[in-house]
Amino acid sequence: MKPVLFALAAALAFSALPNTATATPLNATEQTIVAAVKARKEAALALLERSVNINSGTMNHDGVREVGQLFRAQLDALGFRTRWIDMPPSMRRAGHLLAERGGTRGKRILLLGHLDTVFEKDSPVQAWQRSGDRVRGQGVNDMKSGDVIIIEALRALHAAGALDGATVTVLFTGDEENAGEPKEVSRGDMVAAAKRSDVALSFEATVIKDGRATGTIGRRSSSSWTVQVKGKQGHSSGIFSQDAGYGAIYEAARIVDAFRRDVIEPDLTFSPGLIAGGTQVAHDDANARATAQGKNNVIASTATVTGDMRYLTYEQRDRARAKMQGIVAQSLPGAGATITFLDSYPPMAPTAGNRQLLAAYSQASDDAGLGPVAAFPPGLRGAGDIQFVAPYIDSLDGLGAAGKGAHSPDEDLDIGSIEQSTIRAALLLYRLTR
């Protein structure tokens, strides 16, 4: 069990939603921090607009670096030591921005964001389009607004004289939307930073649920599986017989349907994404394609199924894999199969430490007059960068702005949520670093 963050968080430990907190008045420094955030409302929006107007699709390396340079200048001005981390050329990724400030007071904080978006250079999606209190654009909520919130929260602490003495590391990755392989390299600097820190905060967009902001205390893994099936090729008139058996396609169908019936449990999903069968099957893994040959009067001799798997804890993963392996082993006559698994993103389990961190965040929000923050159901959130550090330190995600339509032409943002999320984050950082 990780240590309790501080006495306030311990007092607010809760089972699911931190909705029992009682607001307390902000002290003089905290009031100064809030005032500094509010004074920068328009400037923060202008900074976001500049970043959104730079296309930074993951494979547009120049654009990713340009957004990195824009944010690097902001962090340099706040006294951070900054550097660009290049990835090996073979990985075909732009790299990451790392910024650090050393100190001896309070918790050591790791702040996570990402510079890239899913909108590549040839995307027809308009870069910036404001309509009243909302704005649409490339990566406007996923997650350039989150990056701006990090910078503006730190700026508010700096303005109040509360940043000196704090140990803060900021890492903006350049490939969150399509992480470079091997991930041991592309996320190696992130893991190393986590091991030098006590708490990780990630600023992916918050989700508004029942009118309340939420925080993410858990995220499911991203992994995959492949089933390879072999059967006896022969004349189709003999199928189901003792000599011919059932063939590869029936065996593949049996396995996938048994997964559906027998492996289900809460927060676990496994989705077959590609299936191919016949007398010959060829795979193009780089382009996620398969071709198959076969005849109606010939029993299929080979089949392959590939799929996605999401789990919340390693224990859940191991249970599911054991059941799947057992199903695969129960072959129909004349057929046989094997299953292999590949991990990609580790799970972020909803630990007690993460819940206590959310309680502290909720208390800061309530104290600022923004209301308590609820826990977003962990099983409803996909994979994200914070999962690479969550096994090492207490972690909380979803601290960004509120919007909708991420990854779509309709991606937009509630402008007012930038200020609200910045206030919450700045107060939490102040309290964690005391």
Token pair recorded at residue 422: 């910045």
Q: What is the pLDDT of residue 9?
A: 37
Q: Which domain holds residue 81?
A: 7-219+348-432
- 19 band by pLDDT with thresholds 50, 70 and 90: very low
Final residue before a domain boundary, out of 293, 320, 345:
345
**To 10 degrees, what angle do helices 145-159 and 28-39 make?**
130
Cα–Cα distance, 87 to 280 (Å, whole number): 39
Same domain, residue pair 158 and 191: yes
Cα–Cα distance, 259 to 325 (Å, whole number): 10
At 361 the three-state DSSP class reads: helix
Average pLDDT over residues 160-188: 97
Cα–Cα distance, 307 to 320 (Å, whole number): 14
Same domain, residue pair 140 and 236: no
At 140 the three-state DSSP class reads: helix
Domain count, the chain: 2
| Residue 84 phi, psi (nearest 5) | -95, 130
Q: What is the pLDDT of residue 12?
A: 36
CATH number for 243:
3.30.70.360
The length of the chain, given as a count of residues: 434
CB 375 within 8 A of CB 355: yes
Same domain, residue pair 391 and 252: no
Same domain, residue pair 125 and 148: yes
Q: What is the pLDDT of residue 7?
A: 34
Final residue before a domain boundary, out of 309, 326, 345:
345
Cα–Cα distance, 233 to 281 (Å, whole number): 13
Q: What is the pLDDT of residue 5?
A: 37
Provide the b/e sequence for 193-219 (b: ≥16 CB within 10 Å): bbeebbbbbbbbbbbbeeebbbbbbbb
Whether 145 maps to a domain, the answer reads yes
Whether 1 maps to a domain, the answer reads no
Q: pLDDT tens digits for 313-366?
A: 999 999 999 999 999 999 999 999 999 999 999 999 999 999 999 999 999 999
Same domain, residue pair 413 and 400: yes
Q: pLDDT tens digits for 370-428?
A: 999 999 998 888 789 999 999 999 999 999 999 999 999 999 999 999 999 999 999 99
Q: pLDDT tens digits for 106-137?
A: 999 999 999 999 999 999 998 899 999 999 99
Residue with tokens 């607009």: 49
Token pair recorded at residue 247: 């063939």
CB 337 within 8 A of CB 227: yes
Q: Which amino acid, residue 194?
A: A
